[in-house]
Amino acid sequence: MAATYVNENVRYEPDEIPPAPVAIGAGAQAAAIILAPVVISVVIVMRIAGQPNDYMAWAVFAALLVSGVTTIMQAVRVGRIGAGHVLIMGTSGAFIAVCVAALVEAGPATMASLIVISSLFQFALAFRLSLLRRIFTPVVSGTVIMLIAATVFPIVFDTLTDVPDGTATGAAPAAALATMVTVAGLVLRGPSSLRLWSPVIGIAVGCAVAAPYGLYDVQHILETPWVGVPIASWPGLDVTPGHEFWALLPAFVVVTLVGAIETVGDGVAIQRVSRRRPRATDFRVVQGALNADGMGNLLSGLGGTLPNTTYSTSISLAEVTGIAARRVGVILGVIFVVLAFFPKIAAVLIAIPGPVAAAYVTVLLGLLFVQGMKIVVQDGLDHRKAAVAGVSFWIGVGFQNQWIFPDLLGEGFLSVLLGNGMTSGAIVAVIMMVFLELTAPRRRRLSVRFDENALPQLGEFLRGFASKNGWNDSFAERLVLVGEETLASMSAGHDAPANGHGARRLVVTARSAGGGAELEFVSATEGENLEDRLAYLGETPDIQDGREISFRLLRHYASAVHHQKYHGVDIVTVNVEGSR
């Protein structure tokens, strides 16, 4: 049973304090693994967009600084900002295509302004995460993640041949192939301890092959100072945006929301690998992770560099090392901040040849595409979800490659908006999900004050719902029993105010689902998680706490119970199997 399962791999939970050598070692290892992806994403964008080396140096400095600060935020958790777990922050590969478009179309200042404005949408999503759960579903997020890979791949493939004039014909293929074979080989057959180091090892091998061809720019490294801040290259913000800004803004907002959905997944996963005893997902932790992610995007925009996101490597590192203590996140963040002020270290990564960086990114994008597929499939793929994923993906690919009515789009706003595959595909996916939601079986709704009068009103509501759907009296009473026990479980330990001020409200929705019923209870509570309580009920018939009767009955009569806790609101979804 879940009650007896203990994850022995977890050596230190988030609240525990490991010895200083252990924490420093884990933080340094994580920094060594994450440093290359943080810098290379910036370098890829700057090179593709043809930006000068001075601005590239500033963008790398700002990216390292923001990544360090936000990683500390995630670990420390100040108020509602931060997850309170080791979630490593770094530059987001999802923004490669839109940032390249912004730099080419309007320049660094406009890109910075776009990132600042789009970051506000991430704060809004974190604040109202519970309200958008039916639209930004795993099918939508998984499809857009696949579109990210499909959109960026053509750009990356162009970089495979990005070498100086006069370079030997076999230089680019040799360097790219060495990198790709090394990274892919370690991912496919390498031990778990080496798989985490596959990016660093692959890039090192690729650079070693590229160096004899003169592709590795050692002179730039020698000329870069050891310590410094390239403040003169800060691009500033565009306070008078033109039509390019408004055309690109939807794309930035969509990618920001997709990145936020990925952060939601990381926020859920890090909770699962950080505890010895499993707990139900606390969505307040997820909201904290989203707020820290939004803060990272805001700081990235102000700094004129690529936006931030959480790295899924955080979960792998926690699983492999067994160290999930917050202290590791703080140490890792401090290392990033310190490294930002040593430009020579960043110059070593900036000098990586284009074919090497492109080959490394190709492997990562391939894995990202499959991750998107996995998200879609794991959500349960029926014909409706398959239609949403398939249609929106290929429409996005069609617009990205100018296969769909390119002459009608022209060269203005629509061309920039729909010409990006992520934007057009995401718009189609969201429209289809909204259509499904609007045309789904109608939900009956009850809104009452959460007090002693709620119980009889709930019973009357559920009996009426059962009668309207043609269910027999036996199933109707079972439905009422489940509703009453859910209500009792949610209200256990919470006394409603004597007056009307500040009284909690309860909203119950019911709809038919698969021959049974799905009930959703929404209220503002701060008690324990029902999923945890149901999971840890013992098999013994002894009942020490009278409230446990409700938990036991609920576990017996409900086929599934899901409890999502957000800041200011609790959502309990209960499924009851039955027949007409």
* DSSP classification of residue 565: E
DSSP assignment of 69-119 equals HHHHHHHH-BTTBS-SS---EEE-GGGHHHHHHHHHHT-HHHHHHHHHHHH
Q: 282 by DSSP, 3-state: which?
A: strand
Residue 492 pLDDT? 59
Q: Are strands 560-566 and 505-513 parallel, antiparallel or unpaired?
A: unpaired
Residue 40 pLDDT? 81
CA-based angle 387:391:397, to the nearest 5? 150
Residue 538 pLDDT? 43
Indicate if the pLDDT at residue 541 is higher than 50.
no
Which residues does residue 90 pair with via DSSP β-bridges, in sequence order? Answer: 309
In the chain, helix, strand, coil percent, each to 5?
65, 10, 30
Closest to 575 in 3D by CA, of 467, 438, 451, 478: 478
Residue 539 pLDDT? 41
4-22 residue pLDDT tens: 456 667 788 888 888 888 8
Residue 552 pLDDT? 59
Q: 332-336, 367-371, 506-510: lowest mean pLDDT where? A: 367-371
Residue 281 pLDDT? 67
Q: 293 by DSSP, 3-state: which?
A: helix
CA-based angle 496:499:501, to the nearest 5? 90
Q: What is the CA radius of gyration of the chain?
A: 26
83-116 residue pLDDT tens: 899 999 999 877 887 898 899 888 999 999 999 9
Mean pLDDT, residues 327-331: 92
276-313 residue pLDDT tens: 876 666 778 888 999 999 999 999 999 999 998 888 77
CATH architecture of the domain covering 444-495+502-576: 2-Layer Sandwich (3.30)
Domain-by-domain residue ranges, the chain? 20-380, 444-495+502-576
Rounded-to-integer distance, Cα 26 and Cα 29, Å = 5
Closest to 88 in 3D by CA, of 168, 40, 7, 26: 26
Residue 544 pLDDT? 43
Residue 113 pLDDT? 94
Rounded-to-integer distance, Cα 479 and Cα 459, Å = 9
Q: Give me the helices (H) in 380-420, please.
A: 383-400, 406-409, 413-418
Residues 6+ apart with CB under 8 A from 287: 80, 126, 127, 129, 566, 567
- Tell how many helices (H) and how many strands (E) occur in the chain: 23, 7
| Residue 164, token pair as written in the block | 């100086």
Residue 174 pLDDT? 92
